């Protein structure tokens, strides 16, 4: 609550709706969602983004000056309303504001305003991303994003993890986690050349090629190997030419990294983390989540509650392959030990075999990154993927290779240069410890939690291939 210039109490809509009506004078402000009027009676719905619900404002036989203002208060207009809070005599809402005064702050010509008082497709709303937060769905997503962001920090802070800021710009060009965006100040039309005619990055800003980060993991390992528990939560960039409903060029990622923690400890953390976030979301954004359940993904709440209540199924890659090949199901991509699991396989495991989240571990080393700890069998590594129904992989992580010689060999096997990783190898050279971590794509978490189909609709301003508007 604050005060307006007349020293009247100004409430946000969610607070208005929580008050018990008793004719008390108050003010509110926000945007007109819809208006309905008859000769002597005008209703409009006021929304200020504080919650999904609107508050209904009623004007009965308004004075001529107020009536003139009401005429200007079309869909989308910003207004300040003064009135009293009353019990509503009609169905649909328990309280309403009986308006006594109205100021249109900013008009919104109805014949031009792109948001009509009707349902719009997400594709259309994507084209007007500057206005879509004024809709129910995108307002709800903004609140869910906020709730989850804070829950992520709270989860780790309660467990004595340190929030670590890893760099956005990196000069290590061999992280191997996908195509990278180059960062440069060289002139694109006439870059300096060396004696071989190649671009001379020695003249570039950093004196060498630089890129936007694809992961903070290697940096996080540095701090985990000193402070034990750290996490990152920041933007991540991938220049992959992938056009899907679950890829972005710029997305936010959470990456905890923990020393003295093996793969089982890592799985425990991932499972506890996801359950904590979903439970917090159901409690903190109940109204928004009910909206997603009824309008976006029927059965969502029941589905999430099951995830919270039940243990995640934990199977090895070998067991997964066995389950798939003995299922009698024919897949587009045949299953055999050694090949990576495809989307159809992940879907089958989570949606039909186990009907819930599944953590798959111990993958063949050939299909996983060099830094994952090699098992005693010499063939598999301690990677883990958390798979969920509807979405597939939501978390990817591993216990990291802590043995110096083994890691050096894995780097070489992967076709990388040991010299590039001298500092990473130093962590194993001096006071090495078993340590683990994982990466959670924030937008994928939101997709999973809300049931939204397209990842471009769970981030305010999506950046993807051929798409960087707003």
Partner RNA sequence: UCCCCUGUAGCUCAGCUGGUAGAGCGGGUGGCUGUUAACCACCAAGUCGUUGGUUCGAGUCCAACCGGGGGAGCCA
Closest CB 150 distance from RNA, rounded Å: 20
CB of 336 to RNA, least distance (A): 14
Q: State the minimum distance, in angstroms, from the CB of residue 36 to RNA.
A: 4
Contact by Cβ (8 Å): 324, 349: yes
Within 10 A of 165 (CB to CB), how many other CB atoms are there?
11
Residue 103: beta bridge partners? 80
Nearest approach, Cβ of residue 130 and RNA (Å): 15
Q: Give the residue with the Cβ less far from RNA, 111 or 158.
A: 111
The C-alpha atoms of residue 56 and residue 32 are separated, in whole angstroms, by 10
Kindly state the smallest distance separating residue 126's Cβ from RNA, in Å.
6
Nearer to RNA, 146 or 245 (CB): 245
Q: Do the strands 95-106 and 162-163 form a parallel or antiparallel pair, or are they unpaired?
A: unpaired
CA distance 414 to 411: 5
Cα dihedral 427/431/434/440 (nearest 10) = -40
Spatial CA neighbour of 388 closest among 303, 324, 294: 303
Looking at beta carbons only, is 204 or 443 nearer to RNA?
A: 443
Instruction: Give the residue with the Cβ less far from RNA, 201 or 341.
Output: 341
CB of 297 to RNA, least distance (A): 13
- Phi, psi (degrees; rounded to nearest 5) at 404: -60, -50
Q: What is the DSSP string of 177-231?
A: SS---EE--S-SSS--B-TTSSB-GGGSTTSS-EEE-S-SHHHHHHHHHHHSEEE
Give whichever of 204 and 358 is closer to RNA, judged by the CB atom.
358
Q: Minimum distance between the CB of residue 125 and RNA, rounded to whole angstroms? A: 9
Q: Is 456 helix (H, G, I), strand (E, B) or coil?
A: helix
Q: State which residue, 38 or 326, has the beta carbon closest to RNA.
A: 38
The answer to whether 305 touches 275, Cβ cutoff 8 Å, is no
- Toward RNA, which CB reaches closer, 194 or 245? 245
Q: Where are the beta strands (DSSP E) in 400-446?
A: 435-441
């Amino acid at each position: 609550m604050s005060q307006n210039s007349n020293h009247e109490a100004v409430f946000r809509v969610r607070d208005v709706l929580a008050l018990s009506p008793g004719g008390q004078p108050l003010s509110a402000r926000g945007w007109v969602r819809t208006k309905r009027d008859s000769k002597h009676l005008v209703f409009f719905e006021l929304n200020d983004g504080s919650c999904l619900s609107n508050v209904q404002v009623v004007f009965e036989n308004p004075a001529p000056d107020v009536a003139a203002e009401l005429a200007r208060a079309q869909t989308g207009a910003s207004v300040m309303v003064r009135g009293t809070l009353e019990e509503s005599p009609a169905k649909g809402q328990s309280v309403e504001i009986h308006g006594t005064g109205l100021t249109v702050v900013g008009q919104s010509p109805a014949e031009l305003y792109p948001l009509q008082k009707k349902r719009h497709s997400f594709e259309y709303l994507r084209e007007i991303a500057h206005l879509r937060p004024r809709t129910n769905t995108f307002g709800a997503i903004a609140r869910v994003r906020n709730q989850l962001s804070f829950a992520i920090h709270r989860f780790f802070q309660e467990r004595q993890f340190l929030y670590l800021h890893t760099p956005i710009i990196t000069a290590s060009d061999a992280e191997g986690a996908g195509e990278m965006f180059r960062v440069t100040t060289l002139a694109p039309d006439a870059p300096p050349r060396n004696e071989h005619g190649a671009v001379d990055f020695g003249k570039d800003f950093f004196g060498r090629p630089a890129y936007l980060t694809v992961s903070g993991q290697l940096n996080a390992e540095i701090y985990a190997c000193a402070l034990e528990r750290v996490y990152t939560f920041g933007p991540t960039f991938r220049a992959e030419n992938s056009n899907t409903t679950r890829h972005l060029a710029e997305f936010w990622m959470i990456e905890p990294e923990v020393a003295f923690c093996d793969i089982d400890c890592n799985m425990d953390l991932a499972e506890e983390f996801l359950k904590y976030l979903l439970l917090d979301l159901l409690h903190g954004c109940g109204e928004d989540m009910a909206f997603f359940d009824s309008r976006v993904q029927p059965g969502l709440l029941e589905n999430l509650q099951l995830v919270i209540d039940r243990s995640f199924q934990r199977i090895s890659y070998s067991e997964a392959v066995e389950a798939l090949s003995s299922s009698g199901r024919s897949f587009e991509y045949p299953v055999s030990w050694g090949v990576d699991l495809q989307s159809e396989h992940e879907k089958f495991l989570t949606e039909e075999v186990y009907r819930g989240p599944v953590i798959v571990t111990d993958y063949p080393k050939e299909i996983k990154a060099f830094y994952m700890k090699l098992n005693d069998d010499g063939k598999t590594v301690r990677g883990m993927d958390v798979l969920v129904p509807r979405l597939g992989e939501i978390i990817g992580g591993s216990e990291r290779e802590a043995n110096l010689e083994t890691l050096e060999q894995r780097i070489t096997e992967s076709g990388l240069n040991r010299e590039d990783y001298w500092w990473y190898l130093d962590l194993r050279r001096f006071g090495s410890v078993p340590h683990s971590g994982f990466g959670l794509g924030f937008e994928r978490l939101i997709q999973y939690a809300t049931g939204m189909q397209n990842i471009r609709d769970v981030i305010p301003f999506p950046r993807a291939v051929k798409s960087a508007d707003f």
